[in-house]
């Protein structure tokens, strides 16, 4: 039987929101936005713990939670962390996915998504069954993948949701569907 799944996402500039909705449609999940109690990006980026608003959905009704959001400064960002700490006990299974700036090559470096994966895995222990990164570089041609400015300003949208990025997205969907 299909696992009853809900996607919770936080997104500042839209890429992770777009990704979250793609996942929702692909696996027929529910979806809800994580809303910080005070949506000050500066305070959130500095890592201030502002808490999140009460959720509309009851997590206990779901077999599986997919958590989706960006990486900032190599950190498991505050809204995702606040959500995780608050609801960890109600979550039966967790998958983490991020559309982030760091490529697979620099995964384990200072600002790489690998550090965030370790945080998520240590927080959720055996409940965390999968962590996935879909780096922005997958949207760029080979000669532009290292262009840090371009990586920072490129957003995931319907018009670039194709090619290498789409291949990795499909692989992710098949991995979590098996």
| Residue 20 sits in the site that holds ligand FMN (CB under 6 A) | no
Minimal distance, residue 57 CB to ligand FMN, in Å: 20
**DSSP calls for 65-109:** EEEE--EETTEE-HHHHHHHHHHGGG-S-EEEEE--S--STTTTS
| Residue 101 sits in the site that holds ligand FMN (CB under 6 A) | yes
Residue span binding ligand FMN (CB under 6 A) among the ranges 15-23, 48-56, 119-127, 138-146:
15-23
Minimal distance, residue 37 CB to ligand FMN, in Å: 18
**Pair type for strands 30-33 and 64-68:** unpaired
Residue span binding ligand FMN (CB under 6 A) among the ranges 53-61, 95-103, 124-132, 160-168:
95-103
| CA neighbor of 67 nearest in space, from 139, 124, 109 | 124
Minimal distance, residue 137 CB to ligand FMN, in Å: 10
Contact 5, 65 (CB under 8 A): yes
Considering beta carbons, is residue 35 or 93 the nearer one to ligand FMN? Answer: 35
Which helix (H) or strand (E) covers residue 24, if one does? Answer: helix 15-27
Minimal distance, residue 62 CB to ligand FMN, in Å: 22
Contact 156, 136 (CB under 8 A): yes
| Residue 31 sits in the site that holds ligand FMN (CB under 6 A) | no
- 3 state DSSP class of 37: coil
Residues 113-142 that bind ligand FMN (CB under 6 A): 113, 136
Minimal distance, residue 60 CB to ligand FMN, in Å: 27
- Among 74, 127, 129, 150, the residue binding ligand FMN under the rule CB under 6 A is 74
Considering beta carbons, is residue 54 or 110 the nearer one to ligand FMN? Answer: 110
- Length of the chain (residues): 178
Burial of 129 (0-12, 13-18, 19+ CB in 10 A): middle
> Using CB under 6 A as the criterion, which residues of the chain lie in contact with ligand FMN when the complex forms?
11-17, 45, 70-74, 99-102, 111, 113, 136, 155
């Amino acid at each position: 039987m299909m696992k009853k799944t809900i996607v919770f996402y936080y997104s500042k500039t839209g890429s992770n929101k777009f990704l979250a909705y793609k996942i929702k449609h692909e696996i027929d999940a529910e979806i809800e936005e994580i809303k910080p109690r005070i949506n000050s990006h500066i305070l959130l980026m500095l890592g201030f713990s502002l808490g999140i608003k009460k959720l509309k959905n009851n997590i206990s009704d779901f077999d599986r939670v997919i958590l989706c959001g960006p990486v900032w400064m190599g950190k498991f960002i505050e809204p995702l962390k606040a959500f995780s700490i608050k609801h960890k006990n109600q979550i039966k299974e967790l998958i983490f996915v991020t559309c982030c700036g760091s490529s697979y090559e620099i995964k384990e470096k200072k600002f790489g998504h690998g550090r965030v994966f370790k945080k998520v895995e240590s927080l959720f222990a055996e409940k965390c069954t999968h962590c996935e990164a879909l780096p922005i570089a997958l949207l760029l041609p080979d000669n532009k993948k290292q262009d840090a400015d371009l990586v920072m300003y490129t957003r995931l949208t319907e018009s670039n949701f194709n090619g290498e990025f789409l291949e990795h997205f499909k692989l992710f969907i098949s991995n979590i569907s098996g």
